[in-house]
Amino acid sequence: MNILNDPSMKEIVNDFCEEANSLFDLLEKSLNLLEENPNNSKELEKFGQVIDRIMGAAKSIGATEMATFCELGKVIGYKSSQINDIPLIEVVVAILYDSLDMLREMNESLRSGNDKSMTKLNTKAFVTRLNWLSAKFKDIERSSCSIDGKLDQGSIDDLMKSLGL
């Protein structure tokens, strides 16, 4: 039995869900600011930092699907902060809004006791957008975007496969 399924750990899971909701609000604020000013790469950095916090907490309670999804969001946030292509940043913001909606749904699933939240989400179109976006960022190298010490397309593909995407 993991933390998510252990009735004696329900309070910890609930605390995680509450904290995640407050961090989701920060992510949404960053996205709103980016929608107003796509040149503000600092907000993409901030998005990456906040989602990284959620990722770490999700890993610590065993919410691996949510953690992996956050890792993808972190990579997108950090890599997109390195570009100056405003139309592409606008697409990134739209995709990050979608990922935030999915994270909120995952969080509600965790709160209600369902630790396999990805099975309820319709992710096919989202995965298509992630694949397209990751191809746009394939040449951007940044150490904070590395996954298990690697920074290649295969690593991003492996993350998505681990989610069943």
Containing structural domain, residue 149: 3-162
pLDDT > 50? residue 149: no
Q: How many domains is the chain partitioned into structurally?
A: 1
Beta-carbon contacts of 73 under 8 Å, excluding residues fewer than 6 positions away, are: 47, 48, 51, 96, 99, 100, 103
The answer to whether residues 77 and 45 touch, using CB atoms and an 8 Å cutoff, is yes
Q: Count Cβ atoms within 10 A of the Cβ of residue 128 and give its class: 0-12 exposed, 13-18 middle, 19 or more buried.
A: exposed
Q: What is the mean pLDDT of residues 1-10?
A: 74
Which pLDDT score is estimated for 161? 61
Tokens matching residue 160: 């998505």
Across residues 43-51, what is the average pLDDT?
Answer: 94
Distance separating alpha carbons of residues 61 and 75, to the nearest angstrom:
21
Q: List the CATH number of the domain containing 44.
A: 1.20.120.160
> Residue 111: what pLDDT?
87
Who has greater pLDDT, 2 or 82?
82
